[in-house]
Amino acid sequence: MNNARNPLIAGNWQMYKGGLQGVELAGALVGIAREVPNVDLVIAPPFTVLAACAHEVEGSSIAIAAQNFYPKNEGAFTGEVSAPMLKDSGCTWVIVGHSERRQYFGETDATVAERVQAAIAAGLEPIVCVGETLAERESGQTLAVVNRQVSAFINLLTHHAVIAYEPVWAIGTGKTAGPNEAEEVHAAIRAQLDKHRSGLGTTTRILYGGSVKADNAAALLACPNVDGALVGGASLDANTFGAIARAAQTLA
Ligand code: 13P
């Protein structure tokens, strides 16, 4: 981490905790938020409990993110949810381009860019995800793939943007990029941002995601270009998410 940027720990609940359990988890995190005053905490519950979780954490420093949205304000788009609807539900953030969206729901660099633009236009802060597959890593294409993914939305970024580097092979697999592997990609993204627009790299927070747990968080967060974590499985439990947040507070 680097003192120039506030650490950010975000919990992506994926398709878990969509009922009362989710609201209880949000409530359990309020106490943890008080212990980590120098860490920005974001949770991304499923759509069904966004408003209830927002209500539960009201008055705390925890912010609410959605995991996806449809980039039109309203209309005949059965089953979809818009950015203004997310705002009405209490969201201030939204995850965009998660690898599961790219892999299972046909999202491309182009649709990711569309969502980044629509999120910013609606006043939501996007957490934009990038990352290579195992095959891409093994064939030496990691930096080229991530560079291409970032290029798709780099023009749209504001100076308080958040990018999450999540190697696809590390998500939910228990395999984490080692601190050196993560740092190499984070540094490359930051250099790309700075090359694009002077200062953009200094202000953009780059989170690492992919099997971040209580026992590996500190080593990853200690990397100078890792500004926080996007946590999946370990964010579903207040104790483990709390331990990751505390690791960030210790380094902040
Ligand atoms: P895991 O932490 O379960 O690997 O999930 C990472 C992730 O996809 C967060 O968005």
Interatomic CA distance for residues 205 and 107, integer angstroms: 23
pTM value is 0.97
Per-residue pLDDT of the chain (252 residues; tens, 9 = 90+): 988 899 999 999 999 999 999 999 999 999 999 999 999 999 999 999 999 999 999 999 999 999 999 999 999 999 999 999 999 999 999 999 999 999 999 999 999 999 999 999 999 999 999 999 999 999 999 999 999 999 999 999 988 899 999 999 988 888 888 999 999 999 999 999 999 999 999 999 999 999 999 999 999 999 999 999 999 999 999 999 999 999 999 999
Mutate to test the pocket of ligand 1, among 166, 213, 244 (most ligand atoms within 8 A of CB): 166
Domain boundaries, the chain: 8-251
Q: Catalytic residue at 186?
A: no
Give me the CATH code for the 8-251 domain, please: 3.20.20.70
Residue 233 CA to ligand 1 centre (angstroms): 6
CA distance 171 to 233: 9
Which residues are registered as beta bridge partners of 60?
none
In the prediction, which pLDDT does 2 show? Answer: 86
CA angle, corner 197, sides to 178 and 182, nearest 5?
Answer: 0
The count of other CB atoms within 10 Å of the CB of residue 62 is 20
Going by C-alpha positions, the residue among 252, 201, 248 that lies closest to residue 229 is 248
What's the pLDDT at 190?
97
* pLDDT reported for residue 172: 85
Q: Among 174, 250, 188, which Cα is nearest to 219's?
A: 250
Residue-level pLDDT at 3 = 81
Q: Which of 27, 14, 32 is nearest to 54 (CA)?
A: 27
Specify whether 166 is catalytic: yes
Question: Which H helix or E strand runs over 165?
Answer: strand 162-165
- What does the radius of gyration of the chain's CA atoms come to, in whole angstroms? 17
pLDDT for 34 = 97
Q: Which of 56, 107, 166, 183 is catalytic?
A: 166
The set of protein residues with a Cβ atom below 6 angstroms from ligand 1 is 12, 98, 166, 171-172, 209-212, 230-234
**Atom 5 (ligand 1) nearest CA:** 232
- φ, ψ of residue 70 to 5 degrees: the values are -105, 130
Q: Which residues neighbour 14 within 8 Å (Cβ) at sequence distance 6 or greater?
A: 67, 100, 232
Q: Which pLDDT value is given to residue 73?
A: 96
Residue with tokens 């064939």: 139
